[in-house]
């Protein structure tokens, strides 16, 4: 499982590192419109609908999705660059002036990336525009499209409780979207994995996350088991030097990431949504092949989740706690 996670993280980083950005619109009426549908795009569970690159995908759209901060970011992927910039302008985003581009949200000081303040300047949005012109699967439609979206938030060092709230809200959003939790890992400078109380959090999947962390150590020459909830580990270690946390989720054709870093400016919260199938269409893979591969990968995590639940039923300490309780869902 660890090996799979490493490959997943590498794939996620490679996709996001690519510098990636056109048209027709149609509306779909439902009892409660999602953010995407309010924009005039029909959002789907496994595919996107008319008005997006996903109209070229096989299968029938299935309009049922959660409506939260993470899904709102995803609503901005798979559309033309023209539609992307038109939509964020409607939402009140304004481009960050060059002299206000800071290191904390542009680590490599790239002069090519574009950033946008939200209407209240509470966060910064970065589009990932992808050139689709070389993909035979799309027959040169629209050429430039949004393949990923990144959001940056800066929280003062003294407001670590706000960071914890943001972490747990991200987890609740993933759960509401029925996305699989691929991993949650936290550490800090010089932290260790073989001590108690725990200094690192290392969870794979919702079931493992619900079960907490445990380790066996020698006490007076005898083995002794220790266990602790992941939330307790995070709350105790979040202010440590160079605190660093990664959360990775997956939902069929999409990867969802959250990265929290404690830097000199404060806590930098980095949210990322990647339309992974669309990314892999370049330089010419077809929709059917790519989607089948993504579904197979998604099902691996789903099956691992079911397997872990069976393993934790009285066979491994401790018993897993209720997910709604863990996520503080009333």
The better pLDDT of the pair 141, 24 is held by 141
Give me the helix-helix angle, 160-176 and 230-237, nearest 10°: 150
User: Looking at residue 26, what is its pLDDT?
Assistant: 36
Distance CA 52, CA 272 (A): 19
* 247 φ, ψ (degrees, to nearest 5): -125, 135
User: Looking at residue 157, what is its pLDDT?
Assistant: 96
CB 18, CB 132: distance < 8 Å: no
Q: What is the pTM of this model?
A: 0.83
User: Following DSSP, what letter does each residue of 146-170 receive, concatenated?
Assistant: EEEEEEEEEE-TT-HHHHHHHHHHH
Least confident span in 85-94, 155-164, 300-309, 311-320:
311-320
Q: Is the pLDDT of residue 37 over 60?
A: no
Among residues 111, 105, 55, 63, the alpha carbon closest in space to that of 80 is found at 55
Q: Is the pLDDT of residue 42 over 60?
A: no
Q: What does the pLDDT look like over 191-220, one tens digit per residue?
A: 998 888 899 999 999 998 999 988 888 889
Mean pLDDT of the chain: 80
C-alpha atoms less than 13 angstroms from C-alpha of 258 in its C-beta half-sphere = 27
> Which one-letter DSSP state was computed for residue 320?
P
User: Looking at residue 164, what is its pLDDT?
Assistant: 97
Residues paired with 214 in a beta bridge: 227
């Amino acid at each position: 499982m660890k090996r799979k996670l490493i490959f997943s993280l590498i794939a996620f980083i490679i996709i996001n590192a690519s510098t990636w950005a056109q048209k027709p619109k149609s509306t779909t009426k439902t009892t409660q419109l999602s953010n995407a549908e309010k924009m005039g795009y029909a959002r789907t569970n496994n595919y996107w609908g008319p008005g997006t690159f996903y109209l070229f995908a096989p299968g029938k759209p299935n309009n049922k999705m959660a409506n939260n901060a993470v899904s709102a970011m995803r609503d901005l992927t798979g559309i033309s660059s023209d539609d992307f910039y038109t939509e964020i302008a409607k939402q009140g985003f304004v481009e960050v002036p060059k002299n206000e581009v800071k290191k904390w949200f542009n680590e490599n000081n790239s002069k090519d990336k574009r950033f946008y303040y939200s209407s209240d300047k509470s966060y910064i949005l970065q589009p990932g525009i992808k050139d689709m012109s070389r993909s035979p699967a799309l027959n040169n439609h629209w050429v430039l499209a949004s393949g990923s979206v990144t959001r940056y938030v800066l929280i003062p060092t003294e407001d670590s409780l706000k960071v914890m709230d943001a972490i747990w809200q991200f987890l609740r959003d993933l759960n509401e979207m029925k996305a699989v939790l691929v991993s949650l890992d936290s550490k800090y400078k010089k932290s260790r994995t073989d001590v108690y109380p725990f200094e690192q959090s290392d969870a794979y999947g919702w079931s493992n996350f619900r079960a907490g962390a445990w380790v066996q150590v020698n006490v007076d020459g005898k083995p002794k088991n220790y266990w602790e909830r992941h939330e307790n580990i995070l709350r105790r270690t979040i202010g440590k030097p160079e605190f660093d946390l990664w959360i990775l989720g997956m939902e069929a054709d999409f990867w969802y990431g959250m990265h929290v870093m404690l830097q000199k400016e404060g806590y930098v919260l980095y949210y990322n949504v990647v339309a992974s199938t669309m990314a892999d269409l370049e330089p010419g893979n077809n929709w059917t092949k790519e989607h089948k591969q993504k579904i197979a990968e998604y099902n691996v995590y789903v099956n691992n989740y079911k397997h872990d639940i069976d393993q934790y039923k009285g066979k491994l300490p401790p018993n897993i706690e209720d997910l709604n309780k863990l996520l503080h869902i009333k």
